[in-house]
Amino acid sequence: MSREGPEPVAPVEMGGIRYEAIHWGKVEGLGQNGGHVRAFDQASGKELWTLKLYDIDYEQDMEPDRLDVFITSLAPGEDGDSLIVEDENGRRFRLDLASREVEQLS
């Protein structure tokens, strides 16, 4: 039995860049569903980069689609230079937008 897909996540726009959560990364060759953020230039619509925030372990003895962990929210960080990302397991991550370094907050 397959699980239902995730709810859409509202993109975040900061400093002329739009950040979006990518749910179906496997069909794009990203290796996993969930855990990716993509940045676009707002003026041109051009993709700037894609980044994986966390790994999903598909080696467990379960159906692969049951192991997917999707992003549930994106929000600007209080410092204005980061993105706060939450996944469906309740984990929170801080993505530094300049260095693209990821810190797990909880």
For residue 39, give the CATH number of its domain.
2.40.10
3-state secondary structure the chain: CCCCCCCCCCCEEECCEEEEEECCHHHHCCCCCCCEEEEEECCCCCEEEEEECCCCCCCCCCCHHHHCCCEEEEEECCCCCEEEEEECCCCEEEEECCCCCEEECC
Instruction: Let me know if residue 2 belongs to a domain.
Output: no
Task: Show pLDDT as tens, one digit a residue, over the chain (106 residues).
Answer: 466 779 999 999 999 999 999 999 999 999 999 999 999 999 999 999 999 999 998 887 777 668 999 999 999 999 999 999 999 999 999 999 999 999 999 9
Instruction: Let me know if residue 80 belongs to a domain.
Output: yes
| Predicted TM-score (pTM) of this structure | 0.91
Range of the domain at 37: 12-56+66-104
What's the total number of domains in the chain?
1
Instruction: Let me know if residue 61 belongs to a domain.
Output: no
